[in-house]
Amino acid sequence: MPGKEENFSEWYNEILQTAEIMDVRYPVKGLYVWFPFGFAMRRYVYDLLRSLLDRDHEEVLFPLLVPEQEFMKEAEHIKGFENEVYWVTRGGQNELDVPLVLRPTSETAIYPIFKLWIRSHRDLPIKVYQIVNTFRHETKHTRPLIRLREITSFKEAHTAHTTWDDAENQVKDAVKLYKDFFTQLAIPHLITRRPEWDKFPGAAYTIAFDTIMPDGRTLQIGTIHNLGDNFARTFDIRYEDAEGEQQYANQTCYGISERCIAALISVHGDKKGLVLPPEVAPYQVVIVPIVFSDERKAEILDAAGSLLLRLKEEGVRVVLDDRDERPGAKYYRWEQKGVPLRVEIGPKDLDEGVYTLARRDGNPKSKVRFDEIFDRIKTTFEDIHANIQKNAEEAFKSKIKDCRTFDEIKDATKSGVARIYWCGNPDCGQRIEDQLDLSLLGISEETDDHGSCIVCSKGNSRVSYLARTF
Ligand code: 5CA
Ligand code: ZN
């Protein structure tokens, strides 16, 4: 495989195919097919996300089609999406009376119904989410899992509250939830408040999570929007407060797509293929019997088979590769698929009562006694996760450079992200973006550090980041 830093696109396309994640041969631009292995990864990743959400959200399912009138209600929202929506205008041979939009996201499908669900302050807060496909006629270069025209795994949460402060607190909770999620995936991230000109259409403000891809470009992997009462006014979502007065609800929404899987692949993968945290690896352990001679074959396969059963009973996702093939070919195949741990059983191991363990994250092989295997697997998984996380964080930190001049920024963003001070003034912000052809991710939500604005030198300016983005 090509190196992922030097030639990211090539590496990425190659790994999607060799690890059998996405089949890119579907004959519609921006639409791709999940292979079974890729879909299994998706399942474990989304199980994590679901279990975080299920603590205090309810799952719902709204229709895919949105009537034109509803879609056309919120002016900012329309402006943001009108060039990207797909229209359904015919049923069979006939023009539809009411043209329908394929949801690019579901505010305009959900909020007319929120209006019906919300009567009194006692109905609030509402916190729901759905995991659905959404459609965006993206005009920028499409790419599997990264920029799709059919987003197949769009997790969108929608909440409604009485006050602005409650919505604000919900934003904070959502930030924590996303932090948890990306930490479980060992994906380092920046958290920033998007500049005004880059916020979600119709939002009061947008908080974004970005990770840094191997080529130094950032990828937005999640966004959280405080909608204030903008949509509530448009869709007439009101509640009666304790004093009997009618008030507009305050809302938030936050979304994650399969970009989280693109990040998972790209941040941890290497020249051999996928590297996965054990939590989301479709196969956590592969057992490879090492058979040299026919004479001990049955005995070795027996030992491998009983280990397989034992690990399965313990809930480990394990596969036994007993194909008639060289061990080297097997190692290669399962390394491509990112299996965190390989257990080898050969004649010498049998004699000594041990298994040989090989870790995908690169540590040397080790031996473990038969009766200690399960405990060892557990601790090794923890260790692998920590190691993957540490490597990812080191790579991430090494890609962020403090910059005090435009020349330094130009240099830093060739292969990474520039950390600067920005006063928050749009004039300064847009001037850097335009002059350097970079995106300003916005002011950091993670630090209070401050200095003088890189454009106007105003003191007390906050930390911000400039990057080439996907
Ligand atoms: N309604 C809100 C929150 S649910 C919303 O649609 N926000 S969004 O437009 O920012 O999208 C949420 C996330 O989906 C983004 O942060 C980004 O990570 C991902 N995303 C957006 N467009 C695409 C696309 N074309 N392909 C893949 N992922 C996308
Ligand atoms: Zn400034």
Pocket test for ligand 1, best of 189, 223, 261 (most atoms within 8 A of CB): 223
173-179, long-range: CB < 8 A, 24+ apart: 174/224, 174/252, 174/254, 175/207, 175/224, 175/445, 177/52, 177/53, 178/209, 178/222, 178/224, 178/254, 178/256
Is the Cβ–Cβ distance between 446 and 465 less than 8 Å? no
Q: How many CB atoms lie within 10 A of CB 431?
A: 15
pLDDT at 292: 85
The two tokens of residue 391 are 């490597």
- Do both 68 and 184 map to the same domain? yes
Q: Do both 52 and 136 map to the same domain?
A: yes
With a 6 A CB cut-off, is 4 part of the ligand 1 pocket?
A: no
- Domain co-membership, 344 together with 417: no
415: CATH: 3.30.110.30
120 shares its domain with 21? yes
Q: Return all residues near 66 (Cβ < 8 A) that are at least 6 apart.
A: 100, 101, 102, 103, 106, 108, 109
How far, in Å, is the centroid of ligand 1 from the Cα of 233? 23
156 Cβ inside 6 Å of ligand 1: yes
134 lines ligand 1 (CB under 6 A): no
| Domain co-membership, 225 together with 89 | yes
Answer whether 255 contacts ligand 1 (Cβ < 6 A): yes
Confirm or reject: Cβ of 227 under 6 Å from ligand 1.
Answer: no
Residue where one domain finishes, among candidates 242, 268, 294 = 268
* CA–CA separation, 77 and 338 (whole Å): 41
Nearest Cα to 368, choosing from 330, 342, 386?
342
Ligand 1 atom index nearest CA of 157:
4
Compute the C-alpha angle 254/424/446, nearest 5°. 50
Strands, E assignment, 215-372? 218-228, 238-240, 246-248, 250-256, 285-289, 318-320, 341-345, 354-359, 366-369
Q: State the ligand closest to the CA atom of 462.
A: 2
Pick from 257, 380, 389: nearest CA to 316: 380
Count of domains forming the chain: 3
The preferred substitution site among 71, 105, 145, 217 for testing ligand 1, maximizing ligand atoms within 8 Å of CB, is 105
Look at residues 249, 268, 287 and tell me which one is the last residue of a structural domain. Answer: 268
Point out the ligand nearest to the CA of residue 431.
Answer: 2
Q: Is residue 394 one of the residues assigned to a domain?
A: no
- Residue 364: per-residue pLDDT: 87
Say if residue 372 is in the same domain as residue 422. no
Q: Is 338 in the pocket of ligand 1 (CB under 6 A)?
A: no
Do 102 and 209 lie in a common domain? yes
Among all bound ligands, the one having the nearest atom to the CA of 81 is 1
- Could you give the angle at which helices 164-184 and 36-53 cross, rounded to 10 degrees? 140
Q: Is 153 in the pocket of ligand 1 (CB under 6 A)?
A: no
pLDDT tens sequence for the chain (470 residues): 889 999 999 999 999 999 999 999 999 999 999 999 999 999 999 999 999 999 999 999 999 999 999 999 988 888 999 999 999 999 999 999 999 999 999 999 999 999 999 999 999 999 999 999 999 999 999 999 999 999 999 999 999 999 999 999 999 999 999 999 999 999 999 999 999 999 999 999 999 999 999 999 999 999 999 999 999 999 999 999 999 999 999 999 999 999 999 999 999 999 999 999 999 999 999 999 999 888 899 999 999 999 999 999 999 999 999 999 999 999 999 999 999 999 999 999 999 999 999 999 987 899 999 999 999 999 999 999 999 999 999 999 999 999 999 999 999 999 999 999 999 999 999 999 999 999 999 999 999 999 999 999 999 999 999 999 99
For residues 372-399, b (16+ Cβ closer than 10 Å) or e, as one string? Answer: ebeebbeebbeebbebbbebbeebbeeb
If asked whether residues 451 and 370 sit together in one domain, one would say: no
What is the 344 CA–ligand 2 centroid distance (Å)? 60
Q: What's the pLDDT score for residue 293?
A: 85
228 CB under 6 A from ligand 1?
A: no
Task: Report which ligand 1 atom has the smallest distance to the Cα of 208.
Answer: 16
CATH of the domain at 299: 3.40.50.800
* 221 ligand 1 Cβ < 6 A: yes
Q: 416 with 454, same domain?
A: yes
Cβ–Cβ < 8 Å for 408, 466:
no
For ligand 1, mutation pick of 259, 264, 266 (most atoms within 8 Å of CB): 259
The helix or strand, by DSSP H or E, that contains position 129, with its residue range, turns out to be strand 126-135
Residues 241 and 175 in one domain: yes
End-of-domain residue from the set 208, 240, 268: 268
Identify whether residues 125 and 35 lie together within a single domain.
yes
Å from CA of 282 to ligand 2 middle: 48
Encoding tokens for residue 408?
A: 């330094």
| 388 occurs within a structural domain | no
Range of the domain at 314: 278-383
pTM of the complete model: 0.97
| CA atoms of 286 and 334, how far apart (whole Å) | 7
Exposed / middle / buried, residue 349 (Cβ in 10 Å: 0-12, 13-18, 19+): buried
Query: What is the CATH number for 137?
Result: 3.30.930.10
Instruction: Quote the pLDDT of residue 249.
Output: 98
Cβ of 264 less than 6 Å from ligand 1: no
Kindly state whether residues 248 and 333 are assigned to the same domain: no
